[in-house]
Chain A
């Protein structure tokens, strides 16, 4: 496993320090938004691993968030279980679902997988509405707001903020360990040259399914932290727009590095809040236009663009942020072209 370089450690240390200090300097309504940033960042990280590193397009990750959010909500609402049991169970449930769907996804090349997962995203709310006895149907379920444990001098919101970001930190670290090692190397080999990878004994079924499962685990955790801050879930919380939002975050942030998940999370939480001031429909228009422009001019997203900018400034040879084998400007290739 390559050793993390000093620059990376510095950047991580700065990020951790900023995240730790933010609740003390920003107004409390922003703390609320920043909990959502953590949730989005975790889910987008899953998408970056799946789409950016594994080459499988998912337009349906909101469905895994729905599963995670509803596992937490149902356990808390019906059984009275605490969130610290609910969220790990959400991760497990979502991971199992991800492994199953990952097995199906093995057989769907490129654009077919996009089509099937998009349909899953559109159908998700109707599932939630149909099984009323479990999910509460159209009205959804309300939850207890989070309280800080006794003796901790934090508001419930601040406590939730630190828990959410601590969990985000752990899953980012675990994912980094995963993709820097043999696992990530196998995934990238399968993405870039499947035939060569298989010839060298990399088992595509194992690695691709495992990657799908892991990205679903992340989406399930994210779903839990998406439901808890508002203390409410309903079918309209997890529409197809959420799935698309995750992909937007991954693409705008930068689909080839983990930093893209962080930047993407910030963008998808705050960009709509800013754009809404113009018009209720403005966020969609801005998103759509931004997606198209980024794909045309900045294929590695905001993070990739910033990296290239700083390297040009320093006149040093470019290095990608996290993985050393993928040039940062290289577009992500997905599956074999079905028409060739």
Chain B
């Protein structure tokens, strides 16, 4: 029983990381109808920046904050420089451009920091927390807390601030928003910045567990895809719920089902993606889109 509780908390911790990256994907999908294949690599790259800052002697939390700011600026810059020119192009073009980002960011990380796996300092205490007689890893609990705060802030931003409202309007009704004086292009760039910042948090949260290497986020990205698809790719709430459900399910399957084990967790995520897309393409929280032809 204690074991089950630990596994669930650890699943929630992983799930909240999937949820953060899935939220980043959803933010961009809602704004532009684009799946950003480079989202995971952006998170990886910014995590390396955080590592570099701690190597230069910055305390981990300060490095964390600085990295989120850098990630935001980087996301805005990428949207302006790379995505803007192909914004109105067809889907294949945009997919290939984000794949181009994926590969070049992966390569740059290997260029700057090499391909040798590095340990990443955990920002949380290493002693387990005792809650109700069960020992939980402080890392797991800390990750959940940080993710809840992040998601809460994002939600407040979109619901309660004028800028958040403008960003939502720009995503849903770009033409009308432009008429009302909203600078739609900049709203999209801000969306990329936010997504990249949220992704950076997910990278820093998972790096102490999976260690730092240029390919660390690839499987996390697949889990985030699964989470986003499960929740409905247009729904931020769906991404969060999808991420948490996926984290717990994958963790329990991997631990208790012999046939799946550690290696087929990714395959389980793939199966979830395919089954959801076939059975209920809108996911748990999405709306079915009707297309006029």
Q: Interface of A with B (CB < 8 Å)?
A: 51, 55, 57, 59, 104, 107-108, 110-112, 114-116, 118-120, 122-123, 126-127, 129-130, 195, 240, 244, 247-248, 251, 279-292, 295-296, 299, 331-340
Contacts and interface: CB of A to CB of B under 8 A. Distances in A.
Interface of B: 33-35, 37, 82, 85-86, 89-93, 95-97, 99-111, 115, 214, 218-219, 221-222, 225-226, 229, 261, 263-267, 269-270, 273-274, 277-278, 281, 289, 291, 293
Nearest to B265: A126
Contacts of A59: 37, 95, 99
Nearest to B268: A123
Interface pairs A-B: 8 shortest CB-CB: A288-B104, A284-B107, A291-B100, A281-B110, A288-B103, A285-B107, A281-B111, A292-B100
Q: Chain A binding site: helix, strand, loop or mixed by DSSP?
A: helix
Nearest to B85: A296
A288 B277 contact: no
Nearest to A120: B270
Nearest to B106: A284
28 contacts: A57-B91, A57-B95, A59-B95, A107-B278, A107-B281, A110-B92, A111-B95, A112-B277, A114-B95, A116-B274, A122-B218, A123-B222, A244-B99, A279-B111, A280-B115, A281-B108, A284-B103, A284-B104, A285-B107, A288-B105, A288-B107, A295-B89, A295-B93, A296-B97, A331-B92, A332-B92, A333-B90, A334-B91
A288 B107 CA distance: 8
A286 B106 CA distance: 11
B108 A119 contact: no
A51 B99 CA distance: 15
A295 B86 contact: yes
B103 A335 contact: no
A108 B101 CA distance: 24
Given A118-B222, A338-B289, 10 more contacts: A114-B95, A115-B273, A116-B273, A119-B222, A119-B226, A248-B103, A291-B100, A334-B90, A335-B91, A339-B33
A122 B91 CA distance: 21
A49 to B, nearest CB: 14
B103 A119 contact: no
Nearest to B93: A295
A290 to B, nearest CB: 8
Given A104-B278, A115-B35, A126-B267, A247 B107 contact: no
B107 A283 contact: yes
Nearest to B95: A114
B265 to A, nearest CB: 8
B92 A118 contact: no
Contact of A285 (B35, B111, B226): B111
Given A335-B91, A338-B289, A287 B37 contact: no
Contacts of B85: 296
Contact of B225 (A115, A244, A338, A340): A115
